[in-house]
Each structure stands twice: as structure tokens, then as C-alpha cells.
Amino acid sequence: MYVYLYDEILKQKKFDGTVKAMETRLTDYGIAGKIIRLQQFTNAQAVIEDEMRKGATTIVIVGNDRTFGHVLSRAASCKVLFGFLPVGADNTIADVLGISLGVEGCDALSRRRKVQLDVGWVNNRYFISQLHIFPHTIRVQYDERFIVSSKRGKMELVVCNLQPFVWKGKGKQEYVIHPQDGKLEAFLRPLERRGLFGEVYEEPSVFPFEEMTVTSSSPFVMEADGKETKETKVTIRLAKKRIEMIVGKERQF
Amino acid sequence: MFQKSSPLSPLSVEEQHVAGHDDVETVVGPSVHVEGDFASEGNILVKGTVSGNVQTTKRLTVEPSAKILANVRAGDAIISGQIKGNIRVANRLELTQSAQVLGDIMCQVFVVEAGALVHGKVSMKGMDMEEDKTEKTRLTKRPKVREENEPTEMQVNPI
């Protein structure tokens, strides 16, 4: 049985046509199912566990990168097959997974090409797309082996899993992350100076890792899957092959 | 692991094609300082400072402004910066004109550009030539020194 988790943005009128076309396509394929509309404070894990008890075998997230992160950051521990139907703007993860936007995404879903994806684990919760620590004086220890610091003091840290890291320094350099390589990628950018037109960063340092500890003497702001928190110590780990996911043929890994 | 447009490297164009420079996996930025033993299974590009052993089975590239203050082990290496420690490279080691090495070098193929500075012993694998013969003959012609308890012909008693 399929269960579809709709993001609240799909209530907007501009998505009516796409949603109706998708529902028709899913019915044609014989994979239509129950629709649950997510609210801002919906606990996705509780909803999914409840649906699993009722016999759900496939949970399909319908929305954008934010929806994807919001659902899976809580529900990654659920042993169920996940699918994704990207709708609207902000859909970078769909490209990595090889799922087309809108109605065409239903084709990938019907083919049920399954892979197991690695996810990140940070302070007792999962993150799927990207973790971001804003410029701060931090000290980073990798795999309990070496410590990285910057001579300039403040550093920005981005840990990528599924969402590509875009460095807007000299031109747009886009990195494609392979979620199944058994490592997370950390991009460290020391803050060079604060200019008139924003902050100027040095070129990034890249370290693949399995476990990393970020510490600071004062609290720093961390954003994981769109959720901001303040921390003084963060341990980031890799949870290997945690999620079983339906992907498209043109996936980038 | 990830694909990236090729960063600056002293490799020749031909070599970039052979080695596939698109797969640099670990990058140490210019103002970044790494402390501790630093190992990677992929290519390493060092632009900053590393105080600790560096180890990789693939290619290590040390940029002109970079410093490594410990021993280095790599599959291949292109050194343009400073290294204070021993270097052990399985295949090809290339020192560019700005390279400075204070330590012993061990490799299979050694390429040194004019201007590179090395202070240490260089050993290379694959040497077919035998040891110095004059040294050998000198050793063989040296008179045998008898030990005190060793019996001589004179000392042997008839049965």
C-alpha cells in the first residue's frame, strides 16, 4: 500500500494542475494511495509508524528539498521503502536521485528501482540533505585522528549528503555528492573578510569523513535540513545504508 | 566521490588525462592548518599546513605555499611546496622548481625540475646494478683472522 505525504505548499493554487495530473498518472499506474497533508508541526515519524501499522509498504514524499529533509530527518529510522515526487522550486535533491519534476516523477516511482542511501547523524537526529554551521571560531576533529583549524579564525562548515554544495566564490562550482560512497563530505571555508557586498570566503577545504566533532568555546548556529539550533559541541556521524529509496535511472551516484 | 572542475596543478596536460585529475577527494585550503596523522584513500591536494604524517595510496599534490612537517607516503606525488620529513612514494615523485625537501626520499621514478631543493638521501627502487666490485674484492682479499680457540694444523693431535 502506498501512502503519500503532501507538503503544505501543495495547497497553493499554482500546484493544483500538477497535483491533479500526478494523481491521475498514479491511478493509471495502479499505485495511487492514501494522502496525508503535512503541517508545520506534524511529527512525520509518528505518522509513518502509524501508517506502517495499518499496512503501508511505501511512503512517498511529495514536495521539495525542505519537505524531503523535514520528513526523513525524523523518519529515517522507519524500516519502510521511501519514494519522492518533486514538485515546484527548490528541488536539488531530485536531480541527484534522478527523479524528474512533476508528473514525470511518477514514472520513476512506478519502476521501483530501489537503492539504500547513507544519511548523516547529528546530535541524536538524522540529516538528509545538508548541514551548515555559520562562520564561527570552531575546531574540527576528524575521525579522532586529526584536527583542523584556520589561521584566520572564523570558518564556515558545510556537510553534504544528498544536497550538492554550491560554492559561489569564483564562478559557480557545483559538487555532486554520491550518497552511497560510505563517507560524508565536509567543506570548510575560512572567512577571509567582511566586504561591502557581503562576506568573502577563501576557497574551501574538502575532507571526506565518517565521524567528526565540531567544538567551540561559544555557541554557534547550526542548520540541519532547514532547522536552526545553537550548539557548542556537535558530533556528526555517517549512518550507512539507513534509508531504502526509490530512485530514477539518471541518478548521480 | 564527487566530481569537480580541475583545480590548479603542476601536472602536464598529458598526465592530467592519464591520472584523471577530476577526482581530487581531499583538499587542505591555503589558511587551513591540519594537526595529526592525515590519511586518505583518494587524492590529496595540500595548499595549507599539515603537522603530521600524510598518507595516501593515490596522488598527493603539494602546492607552492603549502608545508608538510612530517613523513609522507603516497602512490604518486607532485611537490611544489615545503616538506620537512621523509618521503616514500610507490611510483612517481615529481619535484617542481619551488619544491623544498628536508628529508630522505624513496621512490621508483624521480623527476626533479631545475631549482628544486633537496637535503637528504635519495633511494630508488628497481636497481639492477650489483654492489661496488672494488669494495667486494677488498673484503674477500682481507686475510682471515683466526679465533683464539680455533685449532690450527699444528695443533691437531694424531689419533
pLDDT per position as a tens digit, B105-124: 999 999 999 999 999 999 99
Please indicate, yes or no, if residue A180 is contained in any of the structural domains.
yes
Q: How many domains does chain B have?
A: 1
Of residues B147 and A157, more confidently modeled: A157
Tell me, yes or no, whether B74 lies in a domain. Answer: yes
Identify whether B60 is part of a domain: yes
pLDDT tens figures, B24-77: 578 999 989 999 988 888 899 999 999 999 999 999 999 999 999 999 999 999
In a domain, A78, yes or no: yes
For residue B12, what pLDDT is reported?
36
Residue positions counted in chain B: 159
Whether residue A77 sits in one domain with residue A15: yes
Q: Which residue has the cell 621523509?
A: B86
The number of C-alpha atoms within 13 Å of B33 and in the hemisphere containing its C-beta is: 11
For residue B32, being part of any structural domain is answered with: yes
Structural domain contains residue A116:
no
Give the CATH number for residue A160: 2.60.200.30
Res. B11: pLDDT tops 50 = no
3-class SS letters over A12-41: CHHHHHHHHHHHHHHHHHCCCCEEEECCCC
Task: Please report the ipTM that was assigned to this predicted complex.
Answer: 0.77
Distance, CA of A75 to CA of A49 (rounded, Å): 8
Domain that holds residue A177: 125-239
B49's enclosing H/E stretch is strand B49-51
Are A143 and A107 part of one and the same domain? no
Domain at A12, CATH number: 3.40.50.10330
For A230-249, what is the mean pLDDT? 92
| Co-location of A8 and A93 in the same domain | yes
pLDDT in tens, A76-107: 888 999 999 999 988 988 988 999 999 999 99
Q: How far apart are CA A2 and CA A212, in angstroms?
A: 37
Lowest mean pLDDT among A53-57, A166-170, B142-146: B142-146
pLDDT digits (tens, 9 = 90+) for A24-40: 999 999 999 999 999 88
B45: helix, strand or coil: strand
Minimal CA separation from A56 to chain B, in Å: 34
For chain A, what is the mean pLDDT? 88
Angle made by CA atoms A74, A75, A79, in degrees to the nearest 5 = 150
pLDDT at A84: 95
How many CB atoms lie under 10 A from the CB of residue A128?
A: 27
Same structural domain, A103 and A145:
no
pLDDT at site B158 = 41
Residue A140 lies in a domain: yes
Do A181 and B1 lie within an 8 Å CB cutoff? yes
B149 within domain boundaries? no
Is B140 a domain residue?
no
Q: Is residue A134 part of a domain?
A: yes
**Does A246 map to a domain?**
no
Answer yes or no: do A146 and B37 touch at CB < 8 A.
yes
Spatial separation of the C-alpha atoms in residues B24 and B5, rounded to whole Å: 10
Same-domain pairing of A82 and A106: yes
* Nearest chain A CA: its distance from B86 CA (Å): 20
Please indicate if any CB of chain A lies within 8 Å of the CB of B43: no
Provide the residue range defining the domain that includes B81. 13-129
Q: Amino acid identity, residue A48?
A: I
Q: Which residues of A sit within 8 Å Cβ distance of B?
A: 145-152, 173, 175-178, 181, 183, 185, 188-190, 202-208
Residue B16 has pLDDT above 60, yes or no: no
The reply to whether A72 falls in a domain is yes
User: Looking at A80, A111, A142, which one is the last position of a domain?
Assistant: A111
Mean pLDDT lowest for which of A130-139, A158-167, A231-240? A158-167
- The predicted-structure confidence for A197-239, as pLDDT tens digits, reads as follows 777 888 888 888 889 999 999 999 999 887 889 999 999 998 8
How many angstroms separate the Cα of A89 from the Cα of each of A40, A65, A173, A177? Answer: 18, 9, 20, 20
pLDDT for res A194: 77
**Sequence letter at residue A35:** I
Would B156 be classed as within a structural domain?
no
CB contact under 8 A, B40 and A190: no
pLDDT (tens digit per residue) in A50-64: 999 999 999 999 999
In a domain, A249, yes or no: no
pLDDT at A180 over 80: no
- Name B100's Cβ contacts closer than 8 Å, sequence gap at least 6: B81, B82, B83, B116, B117
Report how far residue B77's alpha carbon sits from residue B112's, in angstroms, rounded to the nearest whole number.
12
Average model confidence (pLDDT) across chain B = 77
In this structure, the answer to whether residues A62 and A104 fall within a common structural domain is yes
pLDDT at B20 over 80: no
pLDDT at B87: 96
